[in-house]
């Protein structure tokens, strides 16, 4: 039986470092194929953007200063596009709306109401494509992804069943799944976004971690025989 490594990935959709890290997730899927299973979870870093940016960055230019900081950081990641007007033009009030909406889509996948198969062109499942488009809607297009209408437009573009999404939002299942993510974050004592969790929480990688570091951790887990002692 093929050994499968589970990677639990915790992120906030408004986190620049998680946006930049997408290329690493894509490469992991290409490298390890069916030997790796990536499960997405959401944590609140930008739950209240006015508090996190408007007040904390008040003496450094507030939203404009934070935007300039991100645009400068983006220079090191030529594979991604960052709109020069992010956090200036109609900034989102929270990432929670997106997390809530995306958990509803993820729940549909778990319930078998949408395909969990990987698209041959994008390499992503419908849920993963939804998540990526939400990130791009903000970072690339400077849209307010705390606005539910923006999220509904993305779902409609992907031909997702809106009635089923709204059912998950209304019946509490999406919210319960989001609360579960928050509880996992506290249990694992995670520092922030993005966080990569391996080996049932024994291995944690946080922040702007290089691809080779993540790859090495997964390779070691795949090659290590659980019945043998490991000395390093």
- The verdict on residue 53 lying in a domain is yes
- The verdict on residue 230 lying in a domain is no
d(CA 42, CA 90): 23
The confidence score (pLDDT) of residue 228 equals: 54
- The verdict on residue 229 lying in a domain is no
Q: Which CATH number belongs to the domain containing residue 54 in this structure?
A: 3.40.30.10
- The verdict on residue 168 lying in a domain is yes
In this structure, the number of other CB atoms found within 10 A of the CB of residue 17 comes to 19
Higher pLDDT, 1 or 41: 41
Phi first, then psi: what are they for 38, rounded to 5°?
-100, 125
- The verdict on residue 9 lying in a domain is yes
The confidence score (pLDDT) of residue 63 equals: 96
* Bridge partners of residue 10, in order along the sequence: 41, 195
The confidence score (pLDDT) of residue 120 equals: 82
d(CA 46, CA 17): 13
Q: Which residues span the domain enclosing 90? A: 5-223
The DSSP annotation for 50-112 comes to IIIIIITTGGGTHHHHHHHHHHHHHTT-TTS---TTTTTSS--S-SHHHHHHHHHHHHHHHTT
Q: Does pLDDT of 210 surpass 70?
A: yes
Structural domains of the chain, count? 1
> Which of helix, strand or coil describes residue 39?
strand
Mean pLDDT, rounded, of the chain: 95
Range 201-209 average pLDDT:
96
Q: pLDDT for 112-145, tens place per residue?
A: 999 999 998 899 999 999 999 999 999 999 999 9
- The verdict on residue 231 lying in a domain is no
């Amino acid at each position: 039986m093929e050994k499968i490594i589970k990677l639990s990935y915790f992120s906030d959709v408004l986190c620049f470092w998680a946006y930049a890290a997408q290329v690493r997730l894509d490469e992991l899927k290409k490298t390890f194929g069916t030997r790796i299973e990536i499960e997405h979870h959401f944590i609140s870093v930008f739950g209240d953007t006015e508090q996190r940016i408007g007040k904390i960055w008040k003496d450094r230019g507030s939203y404009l200063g934070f935007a300039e900081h991100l645009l400068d950081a983006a220079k090191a990641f030529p594979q991604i596009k960052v709109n020069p007007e992010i956090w200036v033009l109609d900034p989102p009030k929270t990432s929670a709306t997106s997390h809530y909406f995306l958990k509803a889509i993820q729940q549909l996948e778990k319930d078998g109401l949408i395909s969990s198969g990987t698209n041959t062109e994008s390499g992503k499942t419908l849920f993963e494509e939804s998540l990526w488009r939400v990130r791009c809607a903000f970072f690339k297009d400077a849209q307010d992804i705390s606005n539910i209408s923006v999220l509904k437009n993305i779902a409609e573009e992907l031909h997702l069943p809106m009635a089923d999404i709204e059912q998950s939002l209304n019946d509490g299942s999406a919210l319960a799944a989001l609360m579960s993510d928050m509880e996992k974050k506290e249990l694992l004592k995670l520092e922030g976004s993005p966080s990569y969790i391996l080996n049932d929480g024994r291995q944690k990688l946080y922040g702007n971690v290089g691809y080779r570091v993540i790859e090495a951790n997964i390779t070691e887990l795949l090659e290590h025989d659980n019945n043998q002692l490991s000395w390093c």
